[in-house]
């Protein structure tokens, strides 16, 4: 699980993305075709990612009517929704597009009809996609020591891939920017787990999956390939 061919340009995308809610237009045809190819690659292990153009997004999203729906078979770990969805976000960012994860910003009845949602399937989030009307800005994140108990220098002393993985995971987007993860790093692994107190649990596992994809892309940038294993509180990566 969580096997995915990572792309080198997702690394820069992680460092330059921020959510976009106002767009100057939908992606053009060539961009849609490329994203469609990626959606097929992301659709496995219980997840299907499908692109739509038309009604479905709430009015908080302006200037585009293109979105991706993450459909999950019931029982699929929610982390996988975050992992595959964020791959689409990073690829779109690398293509120069803006995106926004949406847990509430869509009309569920329209989406259910569009995807012909079956009884054994669920949709928790969609992702809007389009041409951003403003450049990305650096969003606020918790201090690195608060997130993982180590400074950047202490992480670097463990290894380059651990440092890259933790710094990248810290930047991951999350619902209401809650960043509901506890990261631990040692000489052989990086774990992304649920902290003791999570104020908003609804998307915590999906958020964790997004942070896991970031960590994997960070480690890949340092020349390592992540292998994830479930533990009691989340997932740990060896690379």
Q: Of the candidates 214, 190, 55, which has an alpha carbon nearest to the alpha carbon of residue 141?
A: 214
N-terminal to C-terminal alpha carbon distance within the chain: 15
Instruction: Establish how many alpha carbons lie within 13 A of residue 166's alpha carbon, considering only the half-sphere containing its beta carbon.
Output: 30
CB of 176 to ligand FMN, least distance (A): 6
**Of 13-32, which residues contact ligand FMN (CB under 6 A)?**
18-19, 21
Part in contact with ligand FMN (CB under 6 A); list of ranges 34-42, 100-108, 112-120, 127-135: 100-108
| Footprint (CB under 6 A) of ligand FMN, residues 176-205 | 176-177, 203
Residue number, 105 or 159, with CB nearest to ligand FMN? 105
**Alpha carbons within 13 A on the beta-carbon side of 164:** 19
Please say which residue, 18 or 184, places its beta carbon nearer to ligand FMN.
18
Is 80 among the residues that bind ligand FMN (CB under 6 A)?
Answer: no
Which helix (DSSP H) or strand (DSSP E) does residue 93 occupy?
helix 78-94
Contact between 63 and ligand FMN by CB under 6 A: the answer reads no
CB contact at 8 A, 126 and 62: no
Contact pick of 175, 185, 192, 205 for ligand FMN (by CB under 6 A): 175
Among 24, 60, 118, 188, binds ligand FMN (CB under 6 A): 60
- Which token pair is 170? 């810290």
Q: How far is the CB of 6 from ligand FMN (least distance, A)?
A: 19
Q: Indicate the residue among 18 and 48 with the shorter CB distance to ligand FMN.
A: 18
Q: Is 105 in the site for ligand FMN (CB under 6 A)?
A: yes
- Which contiguous run of DSSP H or E holds residue 221? helix 204-221
For residues 77 and 113, give the distance between their C-alpha atoms in angstroms, rounded to a whole number. Answer: 24
77 counts as binding ligand FMN under rule CB under 6 A: no
Report CA Rg, the chain: 17
Which residue's CB comes closest to ligand FMN? 173
Does residue number 139 form part of the binding site for ligand FMN (CB under 6 A)? Answer: yes
Contact between 19 and 101 under an 8 Å Cβ cutoff? The reply is yes
CA 8 to CA 11: how far, in whole Å? Answer: 6
- Does position 115 interact with ligand FMN (CB under 6 A)? The reply is no
d(CA 49, CA 40): 7
Site size with ligand FMN, rule: CB under 6 A: 21
| Cβ proximity to ligand FMN, 27 vs 82, nearer residue | 82
CA angle 21, 27, 30 (to 5 degrees): 160
If one asks whether residue 102 binds ligand FMN (CB under 6 A), the answer comes out as yes
| Interacting residues with ligand FMN (CB under 6 A) | 18-19, 21, 60, 100-105, 125, 139, 173-177, 203, 206-207, 210
């Amino acid at each position: 699980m969580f096997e995915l061919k990572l792309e080198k340009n997702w690394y820069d995308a992680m460092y330059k993305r921020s959510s976009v809610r106002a767009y100057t237009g939908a992606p053009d045809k060539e961009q849609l075709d490329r994203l469609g190819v990626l959606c097929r690659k992301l659709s496995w292990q219980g997840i299907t990612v499908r692109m739509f153009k038309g009604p479905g997004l709430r009015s908080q999203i302006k200037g585009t009517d293109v979105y991706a729906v993450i459909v999950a078979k019931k029982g699929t770990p929610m982390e996988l929704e975050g992992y595959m969805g964020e791959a689409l976000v990073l690829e779109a960012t690398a293509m120069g597009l803006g995106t926004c994860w949406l847990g509430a910003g869509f009309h569920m009845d329209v989406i259910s009809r569009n995807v012909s949602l079956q009884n054994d399937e669920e949709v928790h989030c969609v992702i809007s996609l389009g041409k951003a009307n403003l450049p990305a800005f650096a969003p606020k994140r918790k201090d690195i020591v608060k997130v993982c108990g180590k400074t950047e220098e202490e992480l670097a002393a463990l290894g380059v891939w651990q440092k890259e993985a933790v710094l990248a995971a810290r930047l991951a987007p999350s619902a209401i920017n809650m960043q509901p993860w506890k990261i631990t790093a040692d000489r052989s692994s990086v774990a992304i787990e649920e902290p003791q107190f999570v104020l908003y649990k609804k998307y915590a596992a999906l958020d964790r999956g997004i942070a896991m994809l970031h960590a994997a892309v960070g480690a890949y940038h340092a020349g390592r390939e992540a292998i994830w294993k479930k533990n009691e509180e989340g997932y740990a990566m060896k690379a």
